[in-house]
Amino acid sequence: MKIAFFDTREYDRTAFQELADEAGIEVNWFEARLDRHTAALAKGADAVCIFVNDTADAEVIDTLYELGVKMILLRCAGYNNVDIRHAYGKLHVVHVPAYSPYAVAEHTMALLLTSIRRIHKAYNRTREFNFSLNGLTGFDLHGKTVGVIGTGKIGRIFIDICRGFGMKVIAYDKFPAEGSGIEYVTKDRLFRESDIISLHCPLTEETRHTIDADAIAKMKKGVVILNTSRGPLIDSEALLQGIKDRKVGAACLDVYDEEADIFFEDNSGHILNDDTLARLISMPNVIVTSHQAFLTQEALRNIAETTIQNMKDIAGTGMCKNELCYRCGREDACRRERKGRCF
C-alpha cells in the first residue's frame, strides 16, 4: 500500500515513518498542501494523508478518484476541508476522532493561565532584568464561571481541569453528554453568565461564527474568550471590535478564521497581509499560538497509529469505525448502526 502524504512537517515524518515501515506501507512525503494544483502528485497512491489546511473539495476528489486513489486519511479530527458528500461512492474518508484530548485541553488552560496571570509579559520583562510588578495584576480562577461550548472528549477534560481550580462550570451542546453531571444551559445564558468562555465544538455551518457581534454584546464586560478548536467559530472582526470597545477583556487563540495561508509557516521575514490578525496580535490582551494545541509526543504517536490502522481497516474489510459519511448526520451515528460497508 502507498500513501501520498501532503503538508509534511518534520514531526510528521518522525511519528509516521517507523509505524509505516512496520506495516509495510510506502509513504511519499510532500511538503506541498493538497489542492487542485498538487492533487496529481498522488498518482499511484492508494491513499492521501492530509491535515487541516489541505483542500479536498469536489474538484480535488474527482482528480484523486481518476488517479485511482481510494482513501482520504485525515490525520486530525476536523473534516470541514473535505467535501464528504461528494466523496461518497468514490473515496472513503476516515479521520482521527481523538488523538489526545488531554493535549488540547491542557493547552487551553495553559493559555488561560498565561493570559490572566500575565506570565508572557513577566517572561519578557525578566529577560531584561526588569522585575517590576506594575501591570502584572491578574485574577483568581477559583469561584469564576467558565462557559464551555462543546462537551465532547476535549470539552469534558477541560471541564475537569476547571473544576480542579474550583471554578463553576456551565455548558452548551446541541447533543448533551448524558450522565456527565454537567450543567447545560442555553447559549444566551452562557454568554450572559460566563467570566470565561471556551470553544470546543466542531466547525459546521451551524457553528460558524458562534461568537459574533451579537454574542459579544450579551457577554459580561471583561470576558475572556478561548478558542483551541476551529478558527471560524469566531468572527474575527467582531472579536477585534469587542476588544477595542473594552467589552472583551482578553482572547487566547490557537486557531484563526483565515489561518490557511499563515499558520504552520515561518512568516517572520514577511509583511503580514492579514490586517485583522496583525491587529489582534498587536493587542496587549491577546495571545495567539500557532495551532499547536495538539502538538505533543503522545498525540503525534496516537495520530500515526490511528491513521495507519484506519488505512488497514478500509483496505482489509472496507469498513472502519472512524469513517465519515454524509448520510450519518453525525459522524458517530453510522458507527452505531452500520451492518456493512459504507459503499
Radius of gyration of the chain (CA): 21
Residue 278 contacts residue 250 (beta carbons within 8 Å): no
**Kind of pairing between the strands at 92-94 and 323-324:** antiparallel
Choosing from 75, 259, 323, 331, which is the catalytic residue? Answer: 259
Q: Which of 156, 200, 230, 331 is catalytic?
A: 230
Is residue 25 within 8 A of residue 49, CB to CB? The reply is no
Full DSSP string of 189-250? HHHHH-SEEEE-----TTTTTSB-HHHHHHSPTTEEEEE-S-GGGB-HHHHHHHHHTT-EEE
127 tagged catalytic: no
Residue type, 116: I
Catalytic residue among 75, 92, 156, 291: 291
Catalytic residue flag (residue 183): no
Instruction: Give CA–CA dist 302/209, Å, rounded.
Output: 30
Q: Are 307 and 75 in contact (CB under 8 A)?
A: yes
Is 146 in contact with 168 (CB distance < 8 Å)? yes
Round to whole Å and give the CA distance between 316 and 313: 5
Residue 341 annotated in active site: no
Instruction: Please report which helix (H) or strand (E) contains residue 155, including its range.
Output: helix 153-164
Catalytic residues: 230, 259, 291
